[in-house]
């Protein structure tokens, strides 16, 4: 859904992307900074079982990871450095980031094992359905309620709210579990219809 705003966001971030490019930052370095931010976010989600304050730091790092994930593509286009492998690597690192965040939440005991697992599987399958469909030439971007940007926003809001009301994170994970798997269903139906 938010992917429709992607061009506007890219225009707003073009100045930052040019600055990073002038500083010698390559798309792969920015992607590495994104996965590092996601890794640190996961560490703070895991540590939140000991101190609720970490539920403020973790989503900030998650947002930073999403910011770098957006910037790497913009820098790649600006410096005409887009490659098939770069796109593959970016998508692969995003899946690792998603998985690490959910695994950290699961192992910390911050949320119910069942719903966290359903949300994790749904998140991975949202990306998988897009990759499989687009491999056949069917455009899948913007299809569905819970693309990566929406998932980051839901988890961020739920995390901030959990600092004041702990069950907010559980509620956010349940919402993600439902929306991600609904998105998989939407994409499956869309792909089936596109074949007709």
Q: Quickly list DSSP for 101-121.
A: HHHHHHHHTSS-HHHHHHHHH
Distance separating alpha carbons of residues 23 and 10, to the nearest angstrom: 19
Q: Quickly list DSSP for the chain.
A: -GGGGHHHHHHHHHHHHHHHHHTT--HHHHHHHHHHHHHHHHHHHHHTTT-TTHHHHHHHHHHHHHHHHHHHHHHHHHTT---HHHHHHHHHHHHHHHHHHHHHHHHHTSS-HHHHHHHHHHHHHHHHHHHHHHHTT---TT-SS--HHHHHHHHHHHHHHHTTSTHHHHHHHHHHHHHHHHHHHHHHHHHHHHH-
- Out of 69, 90, 94, 98, which one is annotated catalytic? 94
Q: Is 69 a catalytic residue?
A: no
Distance separating alpha carbons of residues 63 and 93, to the nearest angstrom: 15
Point out the residues that are catalytic.
94
């Amino acid at each position: 859904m938010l992917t429709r705003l992607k061009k506007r966001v890219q225009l707003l971030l073009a100045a930052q992307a040019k600055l990073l490019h002038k500083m010698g930052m390559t798309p792969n370095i920015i992607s590495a900074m994104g996965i590092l931010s996601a890794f640190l976010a996961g560490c703070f989600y895991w540590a939140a079982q000991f101190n609720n304050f970490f539920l403020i730091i973790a989503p900030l790092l998650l947002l930073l990871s999403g910011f770098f994930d957006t910037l790497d593509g913009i820098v790649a286009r600006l410096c005409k450095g887009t490659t098939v492998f770069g796109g593959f690597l970016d998508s692969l690192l995003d899946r690792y980031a998603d998985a690490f965040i959910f695994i950290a939440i699961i192992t910390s005991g911050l949320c119910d094992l069942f719903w966290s697992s359903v949300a994790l599987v749904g998140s991975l399958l949202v990306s998988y359905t897009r990759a499989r469909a687009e491999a056949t030439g069917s455009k899948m971007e913007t299809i569905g309620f819970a693309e990566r940007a929406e998932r980051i926003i839901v988890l961020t809001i739920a995390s901030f709210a959990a600092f004041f009301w702990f069950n907010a994170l559980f509620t956010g994970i349940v919402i993600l579990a439902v929306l991600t798997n609904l998105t998989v269903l939407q994409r499956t139906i869309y792909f089936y219809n596109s074949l007709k």
